Chains A and B, each alone.
Chain A
Amino acid sequence: MSVPGGGGAPELYELPPGRTDLPRSRSRLFAGLRQEGAKGVLIAVVSTIAVFAVLTVVIVRSPNWPTVRQSFFDWQQFKSSLADVAPKFLRNIQYFMIAEVFILSWALLLAVMRSLPGPVFFPLRLISIGYTDLFRGIPTILIVYLLGFGVPAMQLPGVPRSNAFWAVVALILSYSAYVAEVYRAGIESIHPSQIASARSLGLTRLQSLRFVVIPQAIRRVIPPLLNDFVGLQKDTALVAFVVAIPEAFKQGQLDVSATFNYTPLLAVALMFLIITIPMTRLVDWLIARERAKRQGGAAL
């Protein structure tokens, strides 16, 4: 993994190499607009109207549209469901906040275990690799089901019997496998010369990992970590499959089954968007900032 330019290694989230004219805009929404000036804006407006007009016609012309509109876009239903769903969304927030703390630390441990060198640490590497293979290979919903119902059913003394507890544990186990891989990519992206320098200063292998490699690695992988965090936020809806006490999605399902109207699910979707869209924009912004920094550095 040697890359010209010193400390830099390929970034996980970077566009193809060789492109130096990367647009700075955070989301690429306005890509190519500024260069074209007023003409660009006009083209964008006309094209937007045309696309949305076609979409509207296609949707409204669908033979069953009146029924669909009533079943999915009932405004009164939406308002009353939103009032039902919003307080329950606090549970989703609780789930992903608790889970994220454990995911970040457990995954880091896994990644470090995997990057430990030498024959002595073979079993730790084995465990780490086996773990990530296992939990990345099983659909999260299955882990939620198996743990959420399986562990309480064992009725082990002293072990929590709450479905919710084990559902969150399942999310932690599943997501830490992904996040461990993100960390590992970060650790491996640190140039070997960094470790060599640290070692030559008299740091032990573990010390150089702790004080030199990991701090740089984490800083580098913050955007992909946040990406996985967004994924986790959405996947708290999976908890609904084993937990009876309603969170937002389950409450939406209850409202749907009480009314046979699907609009409540839109209210649930809105709750998730309120959290995930700002988060996604933040990730874009961080990536753009990091890239700007790097390009600034490279120009020196």
Chain B
Amino acid sequence: MRKMLVAVAAFGLLLAACAGNENPVVTTSPGGGGTETSAAPTTAAACAQQSSVPFVNAGTLTVGTDNPAYPPWYAGGDTQGTSWKINNPATGKGFESAVAYAVADKLGFTNDQVQWVEVPFNQSFAPGPKSFDFDINQISFTPKRAQQVTFSDSYYDVNQALVGLKGTPITGAASLSDLKDYSLATQIGTTSYDYITNVIQPNKEPGAYNSLADAVQALKSGSVDGIVVDLPTAFYVTAVQIPDGVIIGQFPNPEGQAPEHFGMVFAKDNPLVDCVNLALSELKSDGTLQAIQDQWLSSKVSVPVFSTS
């Protein structure tokens, strides 16, 4: 019996080891898209032609995002006959939709070859086969997250902002220390929860709601004094969902750290990320990315930055 057990264990280990070898380790660093070998493609289109680049559906670029597709990331409505809520990502309207189509174009896909799939945030990083080639859903890069999935380079450098109700005391806050005595909440999945607990360190324990809709509801009904969302979402929330809401300020980048950025999410070590990074750098150098940003996102400049004193 014991011999058999040992054999079973050894067999298991062997299999585990084999399984580990099936996925060749990709050692390219983000941004450094495989330039060390002479055969490496230099354009996104050439990169996507390589047979080593796997697609979920051949000949199609399958892009994931969460449903509902909120403005300003998605726009244009047009959800009739689809399962999408608020906006249909396939219209090319809205920041992330436009970025996805621009990337697809650089990779050599026509608009018709782009398929959108619904990927709840929690599913985007679940281990196992992915239903998407990449997921574009306002997901912030962090080193810890990058151990589980592969992120593209930044397609948007994001700042978090605080939204409150007009006429409430919290709207007078100008510095991070002014916020200490208020009850603050975020949405699960954003990086702002850590920011609140570590940087603001409020006296009341901060909260996190399961969805943007829940956080908005809590602010409206007075359960919390302020909610922290990314700045473009803050513009949308105050314009549409909470008419008497106001953006109190945006949070500065933590000192000595790179600005927070959104990246597209790939299955761990998916080589397609190198092609998308090439596409993003082409979009940055030819000004397309900036133009898309100017078209769909409000300027950050109009919102005061909380002082750190």
Q: How far, in whole Å, are A253 and B186 apart by their CA atoms in the complex?
A: 13
The residue from A61, A66, A244, A256 contacting B218, defined by CB atoms under 8 A apart: A244
Highest count of chain A CB atoms <10 Å: which of B20, B190, B217: B217
The residue from A64, A242, A259, A261 contacting B128, defined by CB atoms under 8 A apart: A64
Q: Do the beta carbons of B207 and A258 come within 8 Å of each other?
A: no
Residue numbers in A under 8 Å from B129 (CB-CB): 64
The residue from B121, B206, B218 contacting A163, defined by CB atoms under 8 A apart: B218
Q: Do the beta carbons of B188 and A53 come within 8 Å of each other?
A: no
Q: Do the beta carbons of A260 and B19 come within 8 Å of each other?
A: no
Q: Which single residue of chain A is at the shortest CB-CB distance from B268?
A: A67
Residue numbers in A under 8 Å from B207 (CB-CB): 243-246
Q: Do the beta carbons of B210 and A241 come within 8 Å of each other?
A: yes
Residue A122 lies at the interface, judged by CB distance under 8 Å to chain B: no
Q: Do the beta carbons of B19 and A65 come within 8 Å of each other?
A: yes
Q: How far, in whole Å, are A192 and B79 apart by their CA atoms in the complex?
A: 64
Residue numbers in A under 8 Å from B294 (CB-CB): none
Q: Do the beta carbons of B193 and A53 come within 8 Å of each other?
A: no
Residue A162 lies at the interface, judged by CB distance under 8 Å to chain B: yes
Q: Do the beta carbons of B223 and A261 come within 8 Å of each other?
A: no
Q: How far, in whole Å, are A66 and B128 apart by their CA atoms in the complex?
A: 10
Residue numbers in A under 8 Å from B1 (CB-CB): 46, 49
Residue B224 lies at the interface, judged by CB distance under 8 Å to chain A: yes
Q: Do the beta carbons of B16 and A244 come within 8 Å of each other?
A: no
Residues of B in contact, count (CB < 8 Å)? 48
Q: How far, in whole Å, are A269 and B208 apart by their CA atoms in the complex?
A: 20
Residue B15 lies at the interface, judged by CB distance under 8 Å to chain A: yes
Q: Do the beta carbons of A68 and B127 come within 8 Å of each other?
A: yes
Q: Which single residue of chain B is at the shortest CB-CB distance from A257?
A: B189
Knowing A60-B15, A259-B144 are in contact, say whether A155-B185 is a contact too (CB < 8 A). Answer: no
The residue from B9, B15, B205 contacting A245, defined by CB atoms under 8 A apart: B205
Residue B182 lies at the interface, judged by CB distance under 8 Å to chain A: no
Residue numbers in B under 8 Å from A240 (CB-CB): 210
The residue from B12, B185, B206, B208 contacting A56, defined by CB atoms under 8 A apart: B12
Residue B148 lies at the interface, judged by CB distance under 8 Å to chain A: yes
Q: Do the beta carbons of A66 and B223 come within 8 Å of each other?
A: no
The residue from A65, A162, A259 contacting B16, defined by CB atoms under 8 A apart: A65
Q: How far, in whole Å, are A145 and B250 apart by their CA atoms in the complex?
A: 31
Q: How far, in whole Å, are A253 and B19 apart by their CA atoms in the complex?
A: 29
A68-84 interface bits toward B, Cβ cutoff 8 Å, 1 = contact, 0 = none: 10111000000000000
Name B104-159 residues within 8 Å CB distance of A: 121-122, 125-129, 142, 144-145, 147-149
Q: Do the beta carbons of B20 and A149 come within 8 Å of each other?
A: no
Residue B221 lies at the interface, judged by CB distance under 8 Å to chain A: yes
Q: Do the beta carbons of A149 and B214 come within 8 Å of each other?
A: yes
Q: Do the beta carbons of A63 and B19 come within 8 Å of each other?
A: yes
Q: How far, in whole Å, are A254 and B121 apart by their CA atoms in the complex?
A: 13
Q: Do the beta carbons of B222 and A155 come within 8 Å of each other?
A: yes
B224-258 interface bits toward A, Cβ cutoff 8 Å, 1 = contact, 0 = none: 10000000000000000000000000000000000
A13-55 interface bits toward B, Cβ cutoff 8 Å, 1 = contact, 0 = none: 0000000000000000000000000000000001001000100
10 contacts between A and B (CB under 8 A): A53-B4, A61-B12, A63-B19, A71-B127, A149-B218, A241-B210, A246-B207, A250-B208, A257-B190, A258-B144
